[in-house]
Structures are given as C-alpha cells and as structure tokens.
Amino acid sequence: VIGHPKYQESRRIAIFLSMPDEIQTEEIIKDIFKQGKECFIPRYKPHSNHMDMLKLSSAEDISSLTLTSWNILQPSDDDSAREEALAGGGLDLIFMPGLGFDKKGNRLGRGKGYYDTYLERCMKHPSGKPYTIALAFREQICESVPVAENDVQVDEILYEDC
C-alpha cells in the first residue's frame, strides 16, 4: 500500500479504522502522518446511510475517539471542530473496507450504502471523485458479488498476491 503510486501522489486520504475481521490499517495511518499527508476517517450516522469523512490531527488522536454500538471508533456526534473532507479540498484517495469483492471492482459492504452515498457526494464536489482502493484478504475475492444499481465500483482492489 505504502509503495502504491496513487498513495504516493495523494495528499488527502480517507481510510477506515479497522474492525478485527478487516485488514488492519493502523500502520498505514501512521505512515500518512509520517509523510505529512492529511488523514480523514469515517463518521457514520446511525439509522441512515449518511457518512462524513472527518480529519484526524495525528495517529494518537484515534485514542480520543468514541466507540459506537457497532464497535467502531469514530468522532462523536457533537465533535464539530474537525474538518469534513468535502467542506474543504475534497479527497484524493479513499481506502475502503468490504466483506467481499470481485475482480470487476464490485464491492459487498455491510449493507447500509455508506460508501456508495459518500462517493455520490464526492462526484458533486469540485475536486471530483477520489481514486478508490479496497483493502482485502485473498479469501474475500469472489467470482461475483451481488450489486445494486446505486453501488459504486472501486477502482482497484489490493490483496495478497494480487
């Protein structure tokens, strides 16, 4: 990931905070700050499909985040001091989680459509749609995954030996 050309050229990067069954992103987050890039993480709104990408000030900033009922760390609802990526310069790159992927770029998420609706919002931003990279285990690559018409394909899927 760290040697990937899209990562190297990106300045504003959104990345998920890993759940135990996902590719662990902690070292990537540390590298984002080490390289002087800007790091944004998701804040999901429960009972909706709305998500914002809020800026982290440092890798250590993660310890100040709130644990949701889904066991995901994220900025609290009343945290209004953080920059939302689309209120500023947009994003260059989004690292995306998922449960399953196919080699056509289709992604099976957890069913709420958070990333799909966020990418739709990105497309309306002056900086346009960021490049998207899904981080996966080889076992998550399927022949095909079910898709709906509002699902947005990922640009690239990175997994072991890909």
15-60 residue pLDDT tens: 999 988 899 999 999 999 999 999 999 999 888 889 999 999 999 9
**Contact predicate 19/44, CB 8 Å:** no
User: How far out from the chain centre does Cα 156 lie?
Assistant: 13
37 is in an annotated binding site: no
In sequence order, the 6+-apart residues with CB closer than 8 A to the CB of 3 are: none
What CATH number does the domain containing 15 carry? Answer: 3.40.50.10420
Number of domains in the chain: 1
pLDDT at 93: 98
70 has a pLDDT exceeding 90: no
Query: CA 153, CA 115: separation in Å to the nearest integer?
Result: 10
Of the candidate ranges 69-73, 119-123, 155-159, the one whose mean pLDDT is the lowest: 69-73
Evaluate the CA torsion angle 36, 161, 97, 91 in order and state its sign.
positive
What is the domain range of residue 80?
5-158
Q: How confident is the model at residue 140 (pLDDT cuts 50, 70, 90)?
A: very high
22 is in an annotated binding site: yes
Query: Of 123, 118, 36, 35, nearest to 84 (Cα)?
Result: 118
84 is in an annotated binding site: no
pLDDT at 22: 92
Residues 98-103 have a mean pLDDT of 94
107 is in an annotated binding site: yes
161 has a pLDDT exceeding 80: no
89 is in an annotated binding site: no
67 is in an annotated binding site: no
pLDDT at 162: 64
65 is in an annotated binding site: no
114 is in an annotated binding site: yes
115 is in an annotated binding site: yes
Residues 112-141 have a mean pLDDT of 94
pLDDT at 29: 98
